[in-house]
Structure 1
Amino acid sequence: MGKIENAKILISLEICVKIKGFKIYDWYMPLITTNIDQVINELHKGKPVAIPTETVYGLAAPINNEKAIRTVFVMKDRPLNHPLIVHVPQNWDLSTLVEDIPVYAQQLINKFWPGPLTLVLHCKHDQINPLITGGQTTVAIRCPAHPIAQELLTKLGIPLVAPSANPFGKVSPTTAHHVSESFPNLELTILDGGRCSVGIESTIIDATHAENYQILRHGLIDEKTIAEVIATPSLHLENTLRVPGKLENHYQPQKSLYYFVSYKALADFCQKNPDEVYVIASKRPMNIREDHFHLLADHPEKVAFDLYYQLRKADTADVQTIAIELPPETEGWQGVRERILKAGTPYSTTSQGKVI
């Protein structure tokens, strides 16, 4: 048997590793490919696949395949009451999925789709599996801007659910390699579309009311940007709709992440823990190594692009803790701040001044 045949076996077949004193593990090698037809074939077999979008990589399954959708929940260890976002091809007839679309919602679709904006609308129950909605009467829908995602959706001819391709509550992947790292022991085909251009999840809007809307999850499309397109007023009230990203703790790296409201507080912390910290800040503290530092950009789009990538890099660094300077609480930064606040905890000092 030649090298090529051996390689195929390593990729496609289950390998049982038996070591005395250890359990028997079924080990799989995730397959990264650029072949869209190969990915479609996996979907037709009922297997979830990982796909690129402009926000983050998603773990995708057709909306009409309940078994595949359940597999997505199992792979992610995701609560069954946590709804999924439906991803549609450009110009998809939304009347097949939802009851009605408010005028302002259609205006937002015309302006921002394809793009990182998700709309929550009243669903047609005979068309949407309750697994997708988390048992609610609404469904979250978006049209991804990534050209490979659009090509896949168009060729497949059916919308996909595609929550982030990582274990539930952890840092979302922005490269195909990140997905492979997230599911190292699962049989999974990953469609490689390069690094995600946005880097954080989409803005989610409650568009179930005709006279107003509400942002349920912040992203790069913020309220100011929306107000430039529609005159519809926004609400800032408690909202009981369940949507992705609303849990208090989310997007969390493996290592402890502390955020600091000022650079001075972060620098003081680093002075006491110079060899234990990976720093993301507006400048490098003097005692922090260059390879343990990432410059926090002065624009939210740049920070969003790098945030998850750097958190994953920090997780592999020889440090105990990640320290990040919290961006300003001003217009445009809500999406990035929301991710950091959910991923980390505010730092409080101890008498020893050591990592807590």
Structure 2
Amino acid sequence: MDTKIYQEDQIAEASKQIVNGELVAFPTETVYGLGANALLADSVRKVFEVKGRPSDNPLIVHIAEVSQLEEYVDNFHPLTEKIIKNFWPGPLTMIFCIKKGSLPRVVTGGLSTAAFRMPDNKKTLDFIRLSGVPIVGPSANTSGKPSPTTAAHVYHDMKGKIAGILDDGPTQIGVESTVLDLSDPKKPPMILRPGAVTKEVLEKVLQTTIEIDSHLVKENEAPKAPGMKYKHYSPDTQVMMIRPEDWEAAIQWGKENHQVIGILAGPKVIERWGKEVRETFSYTDNSIKAATHGLFAGLRALDDSQKLSIIYVEIFSEEGLGEAYMNRLKKAAGQKYFEK
């Protein structure tokens, strides 16, 4: 199969592929998604097939109009309207109980709930509207690997497997959306996957306490939302998290154990330790925003060099956006920190 790169004037053509049951990757403000018609079970099964994704892992349904929710959601949480007003379109996914039979079982992973999002990307909103159907959109990469933040990343993983890719350049945020569980209208919302819409921001807007589900889903467990597995977002090269005080010891250990090291970090760390290792990938600056934007791209770049035996990655405080960064990094590293 030829995988076509669609530009802005070809969105209608890309939408026809979705209607016809084919797969087309699309851009969002977070990462690129792998699109299929959410109402065609056979098309959704193709998503699992080309990604190599476990079929118990539920998918996020992308919509372009709030009114589409009413076709599927059984019982809205009382905070839904306020959340939509403040955060849609945007990097926030909401989980609701759905009307029985309203979506194929393969979309929900066999659950009575489903996840919905309205992405903040004009091309993709036009893409969904022209398709006339809701579109599933897990990250457009091989399952378990770092998510794609450019069309080139998608092409690397999906060339010859899907009909096309709608290109809109690099994504703005770099990690997947916040997933908020609203399936029980009687309970406060709970974050199942942290993202750019942080706990602090949600609490300020909604004037209620928001919990974060820190449970790590094992391989034999069915997750309620994407990205909840114990290990995820992992390149083939081993990843290890480095605390600020451990860089010297980690570099020395690597040399003594004949490790070929790469470093993924901000300019401050790269300037101090970059000359001691084989390869580096620097975030654009030392901020958590830059780190979050560059995490997946950096993991991919260092892994694709095929020269390294280990990738050392800078950690950040688990506050605000740091919660999302560290959530992805811990899973990429299989929870492994360097220990002296």
Task: Please report the TM-score for the alignment, with normalisation by the length of structure 1.
Answer: 0.84
Query: 2:263 pairs with 279, 293, 299, which one?
Result: 279
1:257 maps to 239
- CA-CA distance at 1:349 after TM superposition: 5.9
- CA-CA distance at 1:236 after TM superposition: 5.0
Distance in 2 (CA, whole Å) between partners of 1:347 and 1:101 is: 41
Assess if the C-alpha contact under 8 Å between 1:64 and 1:129 holds in 2. Answer: yes
**Structure with the largest fraction of helix:** 2
- CA-CA distance at 1:103 after TM superposition: 2.3
Distance in 2 (CA, whole Å) between partners of 1:32 and 1:288 is: 40
The superposition leaves residues 48-80 of structure 1 with CA deviations (integer Å, 9 ceiling, x where unpaired) of: 111111111111111111111111111111111
Residues 312-327 of structure 1 aligned to structure 2 (within 5 Å): 312-317=300-305, 318-327=307-316
2:227 maps to 245
Distance in 1 (CA, whole Å) between partners of 2:20 and 2:65 is: 24
- CA-CA distance at 1:309 after TM superposition: 0.9
- The secondary structure found in structure 1 opposite 2:152 is helix
Distance in 2 (CA, whole Å) between partners of 1:199 and 1:134 is: 25
- The secondary structure found in structure 2 opposite 1:47 is coil
- CA-CA distance at 1:126 after TM superposition: 2.6
1:269 maps to 250
Distance in 1 (CA, whole Å) between partners of 2:253 and 2:175 is: 32
- CA-CA distance at 1:184 after TM superposition: 3.3
1:44 pairs with 2:19:
yes
1:172 maps to 147
Query: 1:93 pairs with 49, 64, 68, which one?
Result: 68
- CA-CA distance at 1:298 after TM superposition: 3.8
Amino acid at match of 1:173: P
The superposition leaves residues 192-215 of structure 1 with CA deviations (integer Å, 9 ceiling, x where unpaired) of: 111111110000011122341111
Amino acid at match of 2:329: I
Distance in 2 (CA, whole Å) between partners of 1:301 and 1:295 is: 9
Query: 1:294 pairs with 256, 261, 282, which one?
Result: 282
Assess if the C-alpha contact under 8 Å between 1:98 and 1:122 holds in 2. Answer: yes
Query: 1:126 pairs with 101, 114, 117, which one?
Result: 101
1:3 maps to none
- CA-CA distance at 1:290 after TM superposition: 9.1
Distance in 1 (CA, whole Å) between partners of 2:125 and 2:274 is: 46
- CA-CA distance at 1:313 after TM superposition: 0.8
The superposition leaves residues 179-228 of structure 1 with CA deviations (integer Å, 9 ceiling, x where unpaired) of: 11012342431111111111100000111223411110011111100011
Amino acid at match of 2:201: T
Amino acid at match of 2:3: P
Residues 187-226 of structure 1 aligned to structure 2 (within 5 Å): 187-210=162-185, 211-226=187-202
Assess if the C-alpha contact under 8 Å between 2:237 and 2:310 holds in 1. Answer: yes
Distance in 1 (CA, whole Å) between partners of 2:59 and 2:17 is: 20
- CA-CA distance at 1:319 after TM superposition: 2.3
- The secondary structure found in structure 2 opposite 1:328 is coil
1:31 maps to 4
- The secondary structure found in structure 2 opposite 1:99 is coil
| Residues 1:181 and 1:95: Cα distance change in structure 2 (over 3 Å) | same
Choose 61-70 or 111-120, whichever is displaced more: 61-70
- The secondary structure found in structure 1 opposite 2:275 is coil
2:219 maps to none
1:161 pairs with 2:150:
no
Assess if the C-alpha contact under 8 Å between 1:80 and 1:131 holds in 2. Answer: yes
1:328 maps to 317
- CA-CA distance at 1:269 after TM superposition: 2.2
- CA-CA distance at 1:277 after TM superposition: 1.6
- In the alignment of these two chains, the number of paired residues is 322
Assess if the C-alpha contact under 8 Å between 2:316 and 2:322 holds in 1. Answer: yes
- The secondary structure found in structure 2 opposite 1:258 is strand
1:107 maps to 82
Assess if the C-alpha contact under 8 Å between 1:31 and 1:190 holds in 2. Answer: yes
Amino acid at match of 2:260: E
- The secondary structure found in structure 2 opposite 1:93 is helix
1:68 pairs with 2:61:
no
Distance in 2 (CA, whole Å) between partners of 1:254 and 1:277 is: 14
1:338 pairs with 2:327:
yes
- CA-CA distance at 1:39 after TM superposition: 0.8
Distance in 1 (CA, whole Å) between partners of 2:68 and 2:159 is: 37
- The secondary structure found in structure 1 opposite 2:67 is coil
Distance in 2 (CA, whole Å) between partners of 1:226 and 1:306 is: 24
Assess if the C-alpha contact under 8 Å between 2:191 and 2:213 holds in 1. Answer: no
Of the two, which has the highest radius of gyration? 1
Distance in 1 (CA, whole Å) between partners of 2:158 and 2:213 is: 38
- CA-CA distance at 1:271 after TM superposition: 4.2
Compute the RMSD of aligned alpha carbons. Answer: 2.2
Distance in 2 (CA, whole Å) between partners of 1:286 and 1:292 is: 6
1:231 pairs with 2:207:
yes
Distance in 2 (CA, whole Å) between partners of 1:162 and 1:109 is: 19
1:84 maps to 59
- The secondary structure found in structure 1 opposite 2:115 is strand
Assess if the C-alpha contact under 8 Å between 1:90 and 1:114 holds in 2. Answer: no
Amino acid at match of 1:337: M
